[in-house]
């Protein structure tokens, strides 16, 4: 019977199928995509080593203590043993023979490089994998067309490179290490990255730049790499990926004590995610399909009443309704789960989609989570039909046969229980969020979800009494709205499911809008402009740009845009250039650094270099003497630029009167509100010194690791400027700004770290940035200042569209049921002379009333979990002016205009659609008394 009824009422069945299948599909897709993206254990073997027995990373400076799977973390374990035959500073290709001799295998070297090319007036950054696959290595690089490269200058283009517009044959010009290199594309391939996925764009048999201390080796051999071999190689600073150990990890007792301790903190979050997702799916889907089952039960009232009058029991009537829900629920849940798995497979096997969504890795279906989700979806359909089925025990056979049906009085007990659940759930949600925000600890997701579910279920239980109350106070409303509210109060069997579904949808939307709006507002407050709005900053990977390099870059920019104003920006050169090397190696011998710091009143020059904080332990207060300079804390930048740029920037912030003083040798001191003053009587004291650092003593915690010499102090005239959101960009995020000539006159060592660009014709557009970058060196990057840009606008627009469609479907479904039940009343009104306009007004009033009541209740319910989400998101903040982290009151933003507009616009649209659906006059039939 249920199967036949499903086929007979295709529209209603299709609606239920969509309402159950779509949420199920999305959750199953999320679960399957998460499992597919997690590349761990044996899944890493083809990515790390192809058909090899092991893979080694470039050695670290210390011996290694690693787990069975190095991707879960590792630690240092003492002094490293030297590798026989090792070429110091050489690449993995230079040391392949040394690794082969050490391991007794064939070591195939690999190295990843970053190169660029110019295509279609764009500069493309590419990832190149240097590896010779002719050595017997398979699976890691698979040839898909052409031939393998045999010499330097021949390359393969991978699927990723082809998707980005690289040619699959012919020549290709690359820029590597500041010089151009012409290569020939000899074929196409599918290449797997060491880090999972297919991010490599090119494959070449040897690196373009020799002598890079990076990369690794893949070991080819007939014998596996055992755990004992792994531990032996760890002594040489080598991180080892063993195919045998990944497939068959030894007992945990083989790990070191520290690794066993670290493993205890490696928690699998899949179970929690499934529990939360399954619970939300169960409740949301139940509420969504509730109106459709209410339609089904209402339409079958007469048939069921006839069955009851002929001796059918209440249990049989209920089984009839529940059987339909079971059939539809099983079909919808299985279809949704199947579509979710299929969608993940499609994404994972299409490189463009996989790259866009980040679903890399071998396709994997988490069977147990998917089964649990599917079962929850099936249960939701049955639960949604349970309430209409339970009402069949109170079926008024005579009333139904006469065409009369009024819901029984709402239960006060249900109302009280609902109030208690809603109150307790709301209180628990806020309490859990406040605790999490105060302690900064993660977790408690299950408790939060349970409290939120209690809040929503409690609010739904309040709906029947609220509908009755609204109907009683509607006497002053227009006739159409008064009739609609009273009809909703009387016919609660069909109005409550619709109101509940709308309530749930609007509550979720409200929650998301409050949380995202609060997070967006905090990000806007914390946003720090790096330049004047419309200007651009040019960065380089080099620690110091020479005057010749600055002029060459400027000449290239002016060739693209004549009249472009370009100014170098310098900073104090502390002597730490080794930190900016491609693969920095920390010094092992004593070295010197330059210290240049502002000396606040009451401080000594020595304390500006090494000052113990006087604040109590655990507070965020910075050392009082380390304010501005090389040892400054927070926003302590000292920047220097040209006189013309100083004039333009001071004029932009309303300090044109101070330009002459600064050009004559004064410095600009930018002070944020609430920070201590460093300017006394128009002057500021600046110290310089040489700081001697012994890295060995520093690692041992010896207080004599740092020594100062050649200490000198100078009093300089100073101009004080308030540092705020309007001045931080024009002042280049500086706490001290001066001309480069002033810095050199004081003997401060400086280095040019970046350039600023200003176009007198107007703000620098993205198109101009692209054209400037097209001709620039690979290590030059341009960032235009465009102010804070919202990242949520598109997402919010999509959410509003989805929820609008959802609410319209729910509202119109319930309205269609109402109009079906009111056919006799519509016929009576038509017989009395009412036109189509009157009937349209009544239909519109029905739709508007249901949607408006549900939307208002949904906003009220959604505020609580919205606040709960905003608490942990925004309680921890950052002050960009002082550079300090702040734990304080959370940022709460209530998008009232969006919520009110949504709560008004959607009911109005629903009313319009309902009115448009009234097209023909009803059949005027004889009515019995």
Kindly report, residue by residue over 666-685, the tens digit of the pLDDT: 999 998 887 788 999 899 99
What is the pLDDT, as a whole number, of residue 618?
A: 42
For residue 155, is pLDDT > 80? Answer: yes
Say if CB 171 and CB 153 are below 8 A apart: no
The larger pLDDT score, comparing residue 227 to residue 776, is at 227
Please give the mean pLDDT across all residues of the chain.
Answer: 80
Q: Tell me the pLDDT tens digit for each residue of 236-278.
A: 989 999 999 999 888 877 777 766 655 544 444 445 555 555 5
Residue 459 to residue 856: CA distance in whole angstroms: 12
Q: What percent of the chain has pLDDT over 90?
A: 25
Element housing 349 (H / E)? none
Measured over the CA atoms of residue 133, residue 135, residue 136 and residue 137, the dihedral's sign is negative
Contacts of 794 (CB under 8 A, 6+ apart): none
Which of 134-143, 534-543, 684-693, 887-896 shows the lowest per-residue confidence on average (mean pLDDT)?
887-896
What is the bridge-based pairing of β-strands 565-572 and 638-641? antiparallel
Q: Name the pLDDT band for 582 (thresholds 50, 70, 90).
A: low
Say if CB 108 and CB 52 are below 8 A apart: yes
Calculate the alpha carbon distances from 290 to 380, 384, 451, 504, 505 in Å.
9, 5, 22, 11, 13
What is the mean pLDDT of the segment spanning 613-627? Answer: 60
Calculate the alpha carbon distances from 640 to 436, 686, 724, 729, 739 in Å.
44, 15, 20, 14, 5
Element housing 314 (H / E)? helix 314-348
In this structure, what DSSP letter does residue 680 have? B
Q: Name the pLDDT band for 401 (thresholds 50, 70, 90).
A: very low
Say if CB 718 and CB 661 are below 8 A apart: no
What is the bridge-based pairing of β-strands 750-758 and 565-572? antiparallel
Report which of 382, 455, 337, 450 is spatially closest to residue 23, judged by C-alpha positions.
337
The larger pLDDT score, comparing residue 862 to residue 403, is at 862
Q: Tell me the pLDDT tens digit for each residue of 109-142.
A: 999 988 889 887 778 889 999 999 888 888 899 9
What is the pLDDT, as a whole number, of residue 302?
A: 56
Tokens found for residue 622 = 């910075």
Listed in sequence order, the DSSP H helices in 358-411 are 367-390, 397-401
Say if CB 418 and CB 462 are below 8 A apart: yes
Say if CB 360 and CB 40 are below 8 A apart: no
What is the mean pLDDT of the segment spanning 634-654? Answer: 91
Say if CB 290 and CB 501 are below 8 A apart: yes
The larger pLDDT score, comparing residue 695 to residue 57, is at 57
What is the mean pLDDT of the segment spanning 529-543? Answer: 89
What is the pLDDT, as a whole number, of residue 739?
A: 95
Q: Which of 396-400, 496-500, 570-574 has the highest mean pLDDT?
A: 570-574
What is the CB neighbour count within 10 angstroms for residue 217?
28
What is the pLDDT, as a whole number, of residue 97?
A: 94
Residue 246 to residue 47: CA distance in whole angstroms: 13
For residue 301, is pLDDT > 60? Answer: no
The larger pLDDT score, comparing residue 879 to residue 276, is at 879
Say if CB 571 and CB 749 are below 8 A apart: no
Residue 807 to residue 561: CA distance in whole angstroms: 52
What is the mean pLDDT of the segment spanning 699-704? Answer: 52
pTM check: above 0.75: no
Q: Name the pLDDT band for 617 (thresholds 50, 70, 90).
A: very low
Say if CB 635 and CB 882 are below 8 A apart: yes
Say if CB 739 and CB 640 are below 8 A apart: yes
What is the pLDDT, as a whole number, of residue 505?
A: 80
Say if CB 684 and CB 666 are below 8 A apart: no
What is the bridge-based pairing of β-strands 750-758 and 216-220? unpaired
Residue 298 to residue 295: CA distance in whole angstroms: 5
| Owner of token pair 């820029």 | 175
What is the pLDDT, as a whole number, of residue 616?
A: 43
For residue 649, is pLDDT > 90? Answer: yes
Say if CB 107 and CB 166 are below 8 A apart: no
Listed in sequence order, the DSSP H helices in 527-628 are 547-560, 605-609
Which of 298-302, 630-634, 752-756 shows the lowest per-residue confidence on average (mean pLDDT)?
298-302
Say if CB 19 and CB 377 are below 8 A apart: no
| Owner of token pair 């040892």 | 631
Q: Which of 56-60, 380-384, 801-805, 894-898 has the highest mean pLDDT?
A: 56-60
Residue 247 to residue 243: CA distance in whole angstroms: 6
| Owner of token pair 């609204």 | 470
Say if CB 749 and CB 597 are below 8 A apart: no
Which of 594-603, 605-614, 688-697, 709-718 shows the lowest per-residue confidence on average (mean pLDDT)?
605-614
Residue 748 to residue 714: CA distance in whole angstroms: 11
Say if CB 410 and CB 465 are below 8 A apart: yes
Report which of 562, 57, 27, 12 is spatially closest to residue 280, judged by C-alpha positions.
27
What is the bridge-based pairing of β-strands 216-220 and 54-57? antiparallel
Q: Tell me the pLDDT tens digit for each residue of 714-738.
A: 999 999 998 888 888 899 888 999 9
Which of 69-73, 181-185, 582-586, 796-800 shows the lowest per-residue confidence on average (mean pLDDT)?
582-586
The larger pLDDT score, comparing residue 438 to residue 513, is at 513
Half-sphere exposure of 485 (CA within 13 A, CB side): 20
Q: Tell me the pLDDT tens digit for each residue of 314-354.
A: 666 666 667 777 787 788 889 888 998 998 888 877 665 66
Residue 556 to residue 116: CA distance in whole angstroms: 18
Residue 848 to residue 914: CA distance in whole angstroms: 9
Residue 719 to residue 656: CA distance in whole angstroms: 12
Q: Name the pLDDT band for 461 (thresholds 50, 70, 90).
A: confident
For residue 594, is pLDDT > 70? Answer: yes
206: buried, middle or exposed (CB in 10 Å: 19+, 13-18, 0-12)?
A: middle
The torsion defined by the Cα of 797, 798, 800 and 801, in degrees rounded to 10, comes to 120
């Amino acid at each position: 019977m249920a199967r036949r009824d499903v086929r007979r009422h295709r529209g209603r069945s299709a609606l239920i199928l969509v309402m159950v299948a779509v949420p199920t599909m999305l959750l199953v897709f999320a679960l399957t995509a998460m499992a597919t993206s997690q590349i761990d254990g044996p899944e890493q073997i083809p990515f790390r080593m192809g058909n090899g027995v092991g893979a080694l990373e470039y050695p670290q400076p210390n011996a290694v203590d690693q787990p069975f799977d190095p991707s879960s973390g590792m630690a240092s374990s003492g002094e490293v043993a030297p590798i026989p035959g090792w070429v110091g500073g050489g690449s993995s290709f230079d040391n392949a023979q040394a690794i082969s001799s050490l391991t007794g295998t064939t070591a195939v070297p690999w190295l990843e490089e970053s190169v660029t090319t110019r295509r279609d007036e764009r500069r493309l950054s590419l990832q190149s994998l240097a590896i010779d696959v002719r050595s017997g290595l398979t699976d890691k690089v698979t040839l898909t067309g052409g031939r393998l490269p045999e010499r330097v200058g021949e390359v393969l283009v991978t699927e990723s490179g082809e998707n980005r517009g690289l040619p699959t044959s012919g020549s290709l010009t690359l820029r590597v290490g500041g010089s151009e290199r012409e290569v020939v594309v000899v074929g196409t391939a599918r290449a797997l990255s060491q880090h999972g996925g297919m991010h490599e764009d090119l494959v070449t048999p040897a690196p373009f730049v020799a002598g890079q201390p990076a990369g690794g080796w893949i070991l080819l051999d007939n014998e596996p790499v055992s755990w004992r071999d792994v531990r032996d190689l760890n002594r040489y600073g080598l991180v080892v990926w063993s195919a045998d150990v990944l497939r068959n990890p030894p007992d945990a007792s083989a790990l070191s004590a520290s690794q066993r301790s670290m493993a205890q903190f490696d928690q699998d979050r899949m179970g929690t995610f499934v529990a939360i997702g399954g619970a939300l799916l169960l409740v949301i889907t139940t509420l969504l399909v509730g109106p459709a089952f209410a339609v089904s039960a209402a339409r079958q009232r007469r048939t069921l009443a006839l069955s009851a009058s002929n001796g059918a029991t209440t249990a049989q009537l209920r089984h009839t309704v529940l059987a339909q829900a079971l059939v539809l629920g099983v079909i919808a849940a299985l279809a949704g789960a199947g579509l979710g798995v299929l969608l993940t497979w499609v994404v994972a096997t299409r490189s463009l989609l996989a790259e866009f969504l980040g679903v890399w890795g071998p396709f994997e279906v988490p069977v147990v989570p998917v089964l649990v989700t599917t079962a929850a979806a099936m249960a939701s359909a049955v639960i949604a039909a349970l309430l209409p089925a339970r009402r069949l025990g109170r079926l008024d056979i005579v009333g139904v046969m006469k065409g009369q049906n009024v819901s029984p009085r709402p239960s006060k007990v249900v109302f009280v229980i609902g109030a208690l659940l809603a109150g307790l759930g709301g209180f628990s949600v806020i309490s859990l969020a406040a605790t999490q925000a105060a302690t900064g600890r993660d977790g408690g997701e299950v408790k939060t979800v349970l409290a939120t579910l209690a809040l929503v279920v409690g609010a739904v239980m309040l709906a029947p009494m609220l509908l009755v109350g609204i109907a009683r106070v509607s006497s002053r409303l227009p006739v159409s709205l008064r009739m609609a509210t009273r009809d909703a109060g009387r016919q609660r069997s069909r109005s409550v499911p619709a109101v509940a579904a709308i309530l749930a949808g609007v509550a979720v939307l409200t929650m998301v809008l409050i949380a995202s709006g609060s997070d967006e507002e905090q990000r806007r407050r914390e946003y720090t402009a790096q330049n004047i709005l419309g200007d651009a900053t040019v960065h380089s990977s080099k620690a110091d740009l020479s005057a010749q390099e600055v002029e060459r870059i400027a000449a290239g920019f002016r060739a693209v845009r004549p009249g472009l104003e370009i100014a170098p920006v310098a900073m104090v050169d502390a002597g730490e250039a080794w930190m900016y090397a491609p693969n920095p190696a920390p010094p092992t011998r004593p070295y010197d650094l330059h210290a240049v710091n502002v000396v606040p009143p009451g401080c000594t020059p020595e304390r500006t270099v090494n000052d113990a904080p006087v604040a109590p332990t655990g507070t965020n207060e910075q050392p009082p003497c380390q304010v501005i300079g090389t040892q400054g804390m927070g926003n302590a930048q000292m920047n220097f630029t040209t006189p013309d740029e100083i004039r333009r920037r001071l004029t932009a912030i309303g300090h044109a009167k101070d330009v002459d003083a600064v050009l004559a040798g004064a410095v600009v001191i930018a002070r944020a509100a609430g920070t201590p003053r460093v300017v006394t009587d128009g002057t500021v004291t600046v110290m310089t010194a040489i700081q001697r650092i012994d890295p060995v003593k520093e690692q041992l915690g010896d207080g004599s690791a740092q020594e100062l010499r050649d200490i000198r102090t100078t009093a300089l005239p100073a101009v004080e400027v308030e540092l705020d959101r309007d001045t931080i960009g024009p002042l280049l995020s500086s706490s001290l700004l001066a001309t480069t000539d002033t810095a050199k006159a004081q003997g401060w060592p400086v280095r040019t770290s970046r350039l600023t660009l200003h176009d007198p014709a107007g703000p620098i557009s993205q198109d101009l940035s692209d054209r400037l970058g097209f001709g620039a060196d690979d290590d030059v990057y341009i960032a235009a200042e465009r102010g804070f840009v919202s990242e949520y606008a598109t997402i919010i627009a999509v959410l509003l569209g989805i929820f609008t469609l959802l609410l319209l479907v729910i509202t119109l479904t319930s309205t269609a049921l109402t109009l079906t039940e009111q056919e006799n009343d519509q016929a009576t009104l038509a017989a009395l002379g009412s036109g189509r306009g009157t009937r349209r007004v009544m239909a519109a009033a029905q739709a508007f009333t249901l949607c408006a009541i549900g939307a208002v209740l949904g906003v009220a319910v959604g505020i609580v979990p919205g606040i709960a989400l905003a608490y942990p998101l925004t309680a921890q903040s950052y002050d960009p002016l002082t550079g300090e982290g702040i734990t304080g009151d959370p940022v709460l933003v209530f998008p009232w205009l969006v919520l009110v507009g949504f709560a008004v616009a959607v009911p109005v649209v629903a009313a319009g659609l309902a009115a448009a659906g009234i097209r023909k006059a009803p059949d005027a039939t004889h009515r019995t008394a």
